[in-house]
Amino acid sequence: MKIHSKMGGVLTLSALITFGSTFTMTSINAHAETVQQLEAEKASVDQKIQQLNDQIASLQKTLAVKSEEFNATTKKIGEINASIEETQKRIEERSTIISDRLVAYQNQDSVLDTYIEVIFSSDSIADLVDRVSSVKTIVDADQQLIAQHEADNKKLADQKEELKKVEEQQRVQFQQLQEQEAELDTIIAENKAESLRLKLEIADQKEKERLEAEQRQAEQEALALRQLQNTSFVANAQGQGTQNSANTESQGTNSTTETKAKTETKQKATESSKPVASGLSGAIAEAKKYIGMSYVYGGSSPSTGFDCSGLIYWSYKQAGISLPRSSGAQYLATTRISQSEATAGDLVFFSYGSGIAHVGIYLGNGQMLNAQNRGVKIESINAAWWKPYLVGFGRV
């Protein structure tokens, strides 16, 4: 069979079939190659995203170990404090007994007078021996009491010295934990932006429109956090908190550890269900509910406990104010103000060298409320504990 074309040519049916088959197979092969290429690209992207997630998981595992070490040190501090209380109690009780015995000796003028009185008041040799033996027993017991008293006083001094060393160890662990947490927060932000960029490579047009805006925002946030993390904050003798200068009129005292009973912790968690006032005063009132709670790395609710930025995030959220979760992001989300401008409800930020590692709620008059290694507490920002580390203030 022949078919006449408009061009005047003649095509056989077999030629048309051959041409059509060839065209169809070419299209199918091209489509298959495209599908295979897309699948390969998707697999590559998925693998890269998984590598990013594995990196985060590894860092989180490292931080979990650091957190356990910190918790073990905190527990040890509690045990040392309990031992100190027991030793002090024994010393106080024994001091009363020794004081009474000294008064008795003073009334006798001397131990020798006691022996003389025993000798002259004895009815017989046997009675004398019994009385002298009794007096000796009493004198020996008094001497033993004094020896125990001296031993406990030495033990108390040793316990206080050990407590000082362990508290310093805890302080270092706390700082390292916060610094590594700040770096982890930055890497998480960077990996999120990179994951979105990778997804854009294999997204269809409709999906691209949604992802592009999300990716741009994530990239900007990650870049800002990285720049902040790389910023070095140096102590400023003038005490003016600005970027690249930390205020020397800084923070909290290295006071004794505040312990919190489990029943009290449960009570604090129950109180969180009560209505919260809106605004900055409401955020402060909410945060004050948790004074005495232990510091918990990664904690951001009454049920888990709080770390520094977790306390800020929760308290302001309950008062209707939205803030990011990490201390660095909270720094970027607030407006820089000077210490003289700072009022109750502003945030106060700290750094141990570079980046933002700690944050608290400023209460005015040089006081702040924060979650730190000794738990949630109010303390001065002008004392030695925080002195080298104050970066500045931020208005919500």
For residue 187, give every residue at least 6 positions away whose Cβ sits within 8 Å of its Cβ, in sequence order, or none. Answer: 55, 56, 59
Which position among 191, 236, 247, 358 bears the catalytic label? 358
Record the tokens describing residue 249, joined without a space: 């009129």
Query: 75 vs 115, 257, 295, 375, CA distance in Å?
Result: 53, 11, 12, 12
CB 235 within 8 A of CB 253: no
Record the tokens describing residue 28, joined without a space: 């199918």
Count how many residues are written for the chain. 396
Amino acid identity, residue 283?
A
Active site residue 358: yes
d(CA 30, CA 303): 57
Instruction: Determine the number of helices (DSSP H) and then strands (DSSP E) in the chain.
Output: 8, 12
Which position among 191, 247, 370, 382 bears the catalytic label? 370
Query: 170 vs 167, 211, 255, 306, 309, CA distance in Å?
Result: 5, 43, 13, 17, 19
Q: Smallest Cα–Cα separation from 230: which of 243, 217, 248? A: 243
Bridge partner residues of 247 (DSSP): 236, 390
Record the tokens describing residue 59, joined without a space: 């860092």
Residues 304/310/315/320 CA torsion (nearest 10 deg): -110
CB 156 within 8 A of CB 164: no
Which position among 236, 247, 308, 373 bears the catalytic label? 308
Active site residue 370: yes
How far is CA 276 from its chain centroid? 24
d(CA 307, CA 303): 12
Instruction: Give the DSSP letter of residue 381.
Output: S
Radius of gyration of the chain (CA): 37
- Which residues are marked as active site? 308, 358, 370
